[in-house]
C-alpha cells in the first residue's frame, strides 16, 4: 500500500513536471493544460490515491467499468470523462456516469444523447472525436467532414460542444505523431470562429507523446500507463 502510494506519487510528480517543462518551452502557461488519468483496467484504489494527490479528471473507456469504479469511489471530487466508443444503447447510463463525453463521432449518437438529455433535463458537454489519421479501424469524424458535422449538430440543443479529441496512429517515436497534432490544432482554429465561447479544449496526447501534444496546443492530455502503471 505505502509502496503503491510512493510509486503513484512519483509518477504524478514526474508527469506534472514534464507538463510544466513542455509548457515553458513553448511559452504556454501550465494552467492551460489539464491532466486526465485514463483509468481503463486500473483498480479504483489507484484512482483514489491519485485523486488525493490532485488528479481531478478521470477518463473511462467502458460504461460498465466506470459504473463499477464509481460505486467504490463514491463522492470523490472527480470529473469523469467518457473517452471510449459509446454505443447508443448505453447512452442513458453514460449520461448518469459521465460529466463529459469526449467521443461524439456520429449523428446517431448525438440523437441518442439529445433524447436522454431531454428526459433527464441535462445539457451534455461533449468533444468531437476526430479520426485524424483517417484509419479504417478507428472511430471519429474525418477532418474534412467536421464542418458539415458541426452544422448538423446545431439542431441538438442539449449538446454543448466544448472541443475536439483525437487518438492518432500509434508510433514508438512521438515526432512521427507531431504532424497529426499540428493538423488537429489547425482544424480547431479553423472551426473556432463559428463556435461558442466554450469551445476551447483540445484533448490529445497519451503516455508516449503527451509532451509533443502540449507543444502543439493540447489543453487536455489523457495519460494511462505512465501515470497508473501497466494495465491489468
Ligand X SMILES: *Cc1c(COP(=O)(O)O)cnc(C)c1O
| C-alpha torsion angle, residues 98, 17, 9, 35 (rounded to 10) | 0
Can you tell me the distance from the alpha carbon of 80 to that of 99, in angstroms, rounded to the nearest whole number? 5
Q: Determine if 42 is a binding residue for ligand X (CB under 6 A).
A: no
Closer CB to ligand X, residue 125 or residue 224?
Answer: 224
Q: Which residues contact 23 (CB under 8 A, 6 or more apart)?
A: 29, 30, 32, 33, 214
Work out which of 57, 167, 211, 214 binds ligand X, going by CB under 6 A: 167
CB of 226 to ligand X, least distance (A): 6
Counting residues that bind ligand X (by CB under 6 A) gives: 12
CA-CA distances (angstroms) from residue 191 to 100, 131, 194? Answer: 20, 16, 6
Determine the interface stretch with ligand X among 26-34, 147-155, 186-194, 224-232 (rule: CB under 6 A).
Answer: 224-232
CB of 75 to ligand X, least distance (A): 25
Phi, psi dihedral angles at 208 (to 5 degrees):
-85, -15
Q: Determine if 117 is a binding residue for ligand X (CB under 6 A).
A: no
Determine the interface stretch with ligand X among 2-10, 63-71, 106-114, 222-230 (rule: CB under 6 A).
Answer: 222-230
Closer CB to ligand X, residue 106 or residue 115?
Answer: 106
Q: Determine if 202 is a binding residue for ligand X (CB under 6 A).
A: no
Closer CB to ligand X, residue 206 or residue 219?
Answer: 206
Neighbour tally for 95: CB within 10 Å:
20
Nearest alpha carbon to residue 100 among 138, 128, 68, 64: 128
Amino acid at each position: 500500500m505505502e509502496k503503491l502510494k510512493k510509486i503513484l506519487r512519483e509518477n504524478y510528480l514526474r508527469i506534472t513536471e514534464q507538463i510544466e517543462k513542455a509548457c515553458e518551452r513553448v511559452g504556454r502557461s501550465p494552467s492551460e493544460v489539464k491532466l486526465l488519468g485514463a483509468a481503463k483496467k486500473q483498480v479504483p484504489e489507484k484512482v483514489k490515491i491519485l485523486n488525493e494527490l490532485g488528479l481531478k479528471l478521470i477518463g473511462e473507456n467502458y460504461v460498465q467499468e466506470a459504473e463499477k469504479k464509481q460505486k467504490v469511489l463514491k463522492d470523490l471530487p472527480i470529473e469523469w470523462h467518457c473517452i471510449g466508443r459509446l454505443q447508443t444503447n448505453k447512452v442513458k447510463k453514460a449520461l448518469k456516469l459521465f460529466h463529459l463525453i469526449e467521443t461524439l463521432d456520429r449523428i446517431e449518437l448525438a440523437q441518442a444523447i439529445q433524447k436522454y438529455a431531454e428526459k433527464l433535463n441535462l445539457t451534455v458537454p461533449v468533444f468531437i472525436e476526430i479520426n485524424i489519421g483517417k484509419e479504417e479501424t478507428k472511430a471519429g469524424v474525418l477532418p474534412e467532414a467536421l464542418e458539415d458535422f458541426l452544422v448538423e449538430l446545431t439542431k441538438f440543443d442539449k449538446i454543448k460542444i466544448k472541443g475536439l479529441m483525437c487518438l492518432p496512429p500509434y508510433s514508438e517515436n512521438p515526432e512521427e505523431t507531431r504532424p497529426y497534432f499540428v493538423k488537429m490544432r489547425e482544424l480547431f482554429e479553423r472551426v473556432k470562429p463559428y463556435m461558442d465561447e466554450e469551445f476551447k479544449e483540445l484533448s490529445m496526447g497519451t503516455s508516449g507523446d503527451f509532451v509533443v501534444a502540449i507543444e502543439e496546443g493540447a489543453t487536455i492530455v489523457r495519460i494511462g500507463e505512465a501515470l497508473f502503471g501497466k494495465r491489468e
